[in-house]
Amino acid sequence: MERCKIYEKIIKFIKDEYKAQSVALHEPKFIGNEMRYLKQCIDSGFVSSVGQFVTDIEMDMARITGAKYAVAMSSGTAALHIALICAGVRAGDEVITQPLSFVATANAISYTGASAVFVDVDMDTMGMSPSSLSKFLDENCIKKDGKCYNKNSDKFISACVPMHTFGMVCKIDEIAQICNMWGINLIEDAAESLGSKYKGTHSGRFGLAGVFSFNGNKIATSGGGGVLISDDENMAKMAKHLGTTAKVPHPYEYNHDYIAYNYRMPNLNAGLLKAQLENLDLYLKDKRELAQKYAKFFDSLGIKFINEPKDCLSNYWLMGIILDDKNSRDELLKYANEKSVMMRPAWRLTSELDMYKNCIKDENKNAKYLADRIVNIPSGVRLNLA
């Protein structure tokens, strides 16, 4: 079939699915108690960083993920920053992550004064590849007194931050095993993977901590916000303390025992999130149904739709297709956006951005291949129950 005809079919399919002439990439849906909880905040006066909804969503997130503790933060980036500090990452260290990610992953590493090291992703999960991680460690690192050092730079490798790309969980049990063997703390950037599981366990639960984002484009939103989960009591307590300006609890005195951060989630945002989390199962069901329809449709056109990989139950946060080459990718992007169906490429690889281009990295071969060919397609919840 002629390329233009194929694009036309794609646009028609998406507009029909969403019953709209203009389709966004991922819009939030407010079809539950959002207004009610926001009004409760305003009526009670508790709009800021103290309030029942903050406590509620921490309990909700612990329940949903199965983690012992959940700590609300002002953003996913803030939660990642705090997680790294609590994991002992310090200025001058190296932290291993992946090149195919939103820039916030590497930025949070940089905030600590550590440098990012980029190892490649797997083709099927689009997340950190355990074999690339192992290869990098075997070829470049030694273990001394239970800790991992880069032999070439003589720097301490204090953490590893894989990311679950578009909601697909990477081979996180293998990565956890490798990190354990090398004495490296594992922090999962689970920003995109609320509701995603690996071999039955929720993402974010495989290392010392996991971090979720509730930015407006995520599967559930607080407007802006994040949550850190952990099974480690000390980690959770420290995260809460450092995210709340390290204020020593007292009814009226102001005493602080660290140079810390104001990373608190306001009650207003938590109220919005509580309502969103109440509908999470509905969102997950709708997105899974859409993914199945997309898979069948793209298969009929001979285009590769990105399905959940083996052992992963995906939340299908951002769905995508893989085209033959960069030219076809750009052609479809132009065509779709001109027809008011929003599509976007994957991120430019973080390891190629000016700020990070001199960081240590392997070949990043799969990441480069994917970044050139992925097109993200409209993936928002289609329900309209308002």
Ligand X SMILES: Cc1ncc(COP(=O)(O)O)c(C=O)c1O
For position 204 contacting ligand X by CB under 6 A, the verdict is no
Query: Sign of the C-alpha dihedral, residues 164, 198, 379, 1?
Result: positive
Shortest distance in whole angstroms from residue 75 CB to ligand X: 3
For position 120 contacting ligand X by CB under 6 A, the verdict is no
Q: Which is nearer to ligand X, 128 or 336 (CB)?
A: 128
> Looking at 192, 241, 308, 339, which residue binds ligand X (CB under 6 A)?
192
Q: Which is nearer to ligand X, 180 or 262 (CB)?
A: 262
Q: Which is nearer to ligand X, 37 or 317 (CB)?
A: 317
Q: Which range, of 96-104, 135-143, 245-253, 303-311, touches ligand X by CB under 6 A?
A: 96-104
Shortest distance in whole angstroms from residue 293 CB to ligand X: 25
For position 276 contacting ligand X by CB under 6 A, the verdict is no
> Looking at 38, 96, 104, 160, which residue binds ligand X (CB under 6 A)?
104
> Looking at 226, 243, 271, 380, which residue binds ligand X (CB under 6 A)?
226
For 163, the token pair is 């990311």
In sequence order, which residues have a C-beta less than 8 Å from that of residue 227 and are 6 or more positions away?
A: 57, 58, 61, 70, 71, 72, 73, 79, 211, 212, 214, 265
- Encoded one letter per residue, x for contact with ligand X by CB under 6 A and - for no contact, window 131-170 reads --------------------------------x-------
Q: Which is nearer to ligand X, 77 or 132 (CB)?
A: 77
Shortest distance in whole angstroms from residue 113 CB to ligand X: 19
Which residue's C-beta sits nearest to ligand X? 76
Q: Which range, of 29-37, 101-109, 141-149, 305-313, touches ligand X by CB under 6 A?
A: 101-109
> Looking at 29, 49, 58, 75, which residue binds ligand X (CB under 6 A)?
75
> Looking at 94, 122, 188, 189, which residue binds ligand X (CB under 6 A)?
189
For position 317 contacting ligand X by CB under 6 A, the verdict is no
For position 351 contacting ligand X by CB under 6 A, the verdict is no
The residue among 53, 1, 36 whose CA lies nearest residue 264 is: 53
For position 193 contacting ligand X by CB under 6 A, the verdict is no
The residue among 196, 179, 191 whose CA lies nearest residue 222 is: 191
Q: Which range, of 98-106, 123-131, 237-245, 248-256, touches ligand X by CB under 6 A?
A: 98-106
In sequence order, which residues have a C-beta less than 8 Å from that of residue 120 and are 6 or more positions away?
A: 98, 99, 128, 129, 132, 362, 363, 364, 365, 366, 367
Q: Which range, of 18-26, 54-62, 74-82, 278-286, touches ligand X by CB under 6 A?
A: 74-82
For position 315 contacting ligand X by CB under 6 A, the verdict is no
Q: Which is nearer to ligand X, 104 or 160 (CB)?
A: 104
The residue among 92, 94, 288, 84 whose CA lies nearest residue 189 is: 84
For position 243 contacting ligand X by CB under 6 A, the verdict is no
- Encoded one letter per residue, x for contact with ligand X by CB under 6 A and - for no contact, window 34-73 reads ----------------------------------------
For position 219 contacting ligand X by CB under 6 A, the verdict is no
In sequence order, which residues have a C-beta less than 8 Å from that of residue 344 and are 6 or more positions away?
A: 25, 333, 375, 376
Q: Which is nearer to ligand X, 77 or 307 (CB)?
A: 77
Chain contacts with ligand X (rule: CB under 6 A)? 75-77, 101-102, 104-105, 163, 189, 191-192, 213, 215, 226
